[in-house]
């Protein structure tokens, strides 16, 4: 290998800003005859450094790797981020990973990139180390507009920055349409279909796929959504999705938040199956009803609304 063009980051969400940076990396690498490498981590570094305030993730590791592979990168290096790695100095990280492991000749990172113990490493330090070890550094704006975002590409800097933090805020507010604009796709969560409390089919007439979602994954605000349930075989089914605490049955605010998907025009057993739920549009807030009949009537309206939304979006 003659050398590599490398980018480093958590890459949570692999959003449009990330994709623009990866396109730029590939373009610059082709000019220099370098192979491309993404260096990312098996977990978000904040989960080790400050677990009490670590953000919930837009993608799990499996989905992140799938999305990165779709970007046409030659190699992905996943680093285990543990306490030892968190305590490693920025200088040692560069020597170990960029120089000795990857033979980097070009490094492209976000302009606010920080790394190493205490986040003491930044683009300026990386540039200084690049002069010592023989690689060039570019700090890029994560605009996601595809117009060229680094100093090398002559960006005007006028485009709004796309960030995982901004997308998490939209998701937490239930603005899944806004989040999808920045992600380049609907926000998705993955999990196993498990048994619920048994009300959906027998009592309500709407059997749902109850998803076991990792606590570390970002869920939309409680409410009812139109979206899709994708099975392990890749088949996508339109669905009305509830993210909530089921206040008609459980009056406590401390009740767990559950993700339940009612698949439209579907009859089958999904228990134990791995599934993916994607959120297209928020239909309404979660509500507490005075009776089960009132809830059932609203569920009929929700299913009709979801069908209308999803048919229009196709």
**What's residue 6's pLDDT?**
97
Q: For position 293, which CATH number holds?
A: 2.40.30.30
**What's residue 144's pLDDT?**
57
**What's residue 51's pLDDT?**
87
Q: Is 209 helix (H, G, I), strand (E, B) or coil?
A: strand
**What's residue 95's pLDDT?**
96
Place of tokens 């075989």: 233
Looking at the structure, tell me whether residues 158 and 291 fall in a common domain. no
Structure letter (DSSP) for residue 152: G
Q: Give CA–CA dist 123/112, Å, rounded.
A: 7
pLDDT tens-digit profile of 232-243?
999 999 999 999
Domain boundary among 124, 147, 162: 162
Looking at the structure, tell me whether residues 143 and 193 fall in a common domain. no
pLDDT tens-digit profile of 172-214?
999 999 999 999 999 999 999 998 765 555 557 788 899 999 9
Closest CA to 232 of 277, 292, 276, 267: 276
Looking at the structure, tell me whether residues 249 and 158 fall in a common domain. no
Q: Give CA–CA dist 274/257, Å, rounded.
A: 19
Looking at the structure, tell me whether residues 226 and 307 fall in a common domain. yes
**What's residue 250's pLDDT?**
66
Q: What is the largest CA-CA distance in the chain?
A: 72
Per-residue pLDDT of the chain (314 residues; tens, 9 = 90+): 479 999 999 999 999 999 999 999 999 999 999 999 999 999 988 889 898 889 999 999 999 999 999 999 999 999 999 999 999 999 999 999 999 999 999 999 988 888 998 888 999 999 999 999 999 999 987 765 544 444 443 333 445 778 999 999 999 999 999 999 999 999 999 999 998 765 555 557 788 899 999 999 999 999 999 999 999 999 999 999 999 887 666 666 666 889 999 999 998 889 999 999 999 999 999 888 888 888 889 999 999 999 999 997 76
**Torsion sign across C-alpha atoms 114, 116, 122, 127:** negative
**What's residue 269's pLDDT?**
87
Looking at the structure, tell me whether residues 126 and 198 fall in a common domain. no
Looking at the structure, tell me whether residues 290 and 150 fall in a common domain. no
In a domain, 176, yes or no: no
**What's residue 248's pLDDT?**
64
> For residue 42, what are the CA distances in angstroms to 6, 158, 243?
17, 33, 27
**What's residue 72's pLDDT?**
94
The total of structural domains in the chain comes to: 2
In a domain, 172, yes or no: no
Domain extent at residue 139: 4-162
In a domain, 181, yes or no: no
Looking at the structure, tell me whether residues 209 and 148 fall in a common domain. no
**What's residue 261's pLDDT?**
94
Q: Give CA–CA dist 275/220, Å, rounded.
A: 17
In a domain, 175, yes or no: no
**What's residue 157's pLDDT?**
40
What residues are labeled active site?
260
Q: Give CA–CA dist 116/131, Å, rounded.
A: 18
**What's residue 156's pLDDT?**
38
Beta bridge partners, 211, equal 193, 259
In a domain, 168, yes or no: no
The number of residues in the chain equals 314
Q: Give CA–CA dist 129/133, Å, rounded.
A: 6
């Amino acid at each position: 290998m003659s050398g590599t063009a490398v980018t480093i980051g958590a890459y949570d969400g692999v959003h449009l800003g990330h994709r623009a940076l990866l396109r730029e990396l590939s373009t610059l690498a082709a000019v220099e005859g370098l192979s491309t490498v993404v260096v990312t981590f098996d977990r978000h570094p904040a989960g080790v450094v400050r677990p009490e305030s670590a953000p919930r993730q837009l993608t799990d590791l499996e989905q992140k790797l799938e999305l990165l592979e779709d970007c046409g990168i030659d190699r992905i290096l996943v680093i285990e981020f543990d306490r030892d790695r968190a305590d490693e100095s920025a200088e040692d990280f560069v020597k170990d990973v960029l120089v000795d492991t990857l033979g980097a000749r070009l490094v492209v990172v976000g302009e606010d990139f920080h790394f190493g113990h205490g986040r003491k490493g930044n683009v300026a330090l990386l540039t200084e180390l690049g002069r010592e070890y023989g690689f060039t550094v570019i700090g890029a704006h994560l605009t996601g507009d595809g117009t060229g975002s680094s100093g090398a590409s002559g960006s005007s800097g006028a485009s709004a920055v796309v960030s995982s933090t901004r997308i998490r805020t939209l998701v937490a507010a239930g603005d899944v349409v806004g989040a999808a604009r920045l992600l380049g796709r609907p926000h998705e969560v993955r999990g196993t279909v498990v048994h619920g409390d048994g009300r959906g089919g027998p009592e309500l007439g709407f059997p749902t796929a109850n998803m076991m979602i990792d606590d570390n994954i970002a869920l939309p605000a409680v409410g009812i959504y139109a979206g899709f349930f994708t099975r392990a075989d890749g088949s996508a089914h339109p669905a009305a999705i509830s993210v909530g605490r089921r206040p008609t049955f459980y009056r406590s605010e401390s009740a767990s938040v559950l993700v339940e998907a009612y698949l439209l025009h579907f009859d089958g057993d999904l228990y134990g199956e791995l599934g993916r739920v994607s959120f297209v549009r928020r239909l309404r807030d979660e509500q507490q009803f005075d009776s089960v009949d009132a809830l059932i009537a609203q569920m009929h309206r929700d299913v009709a609304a979801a069908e209308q939304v999803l048919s229009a979006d196709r």
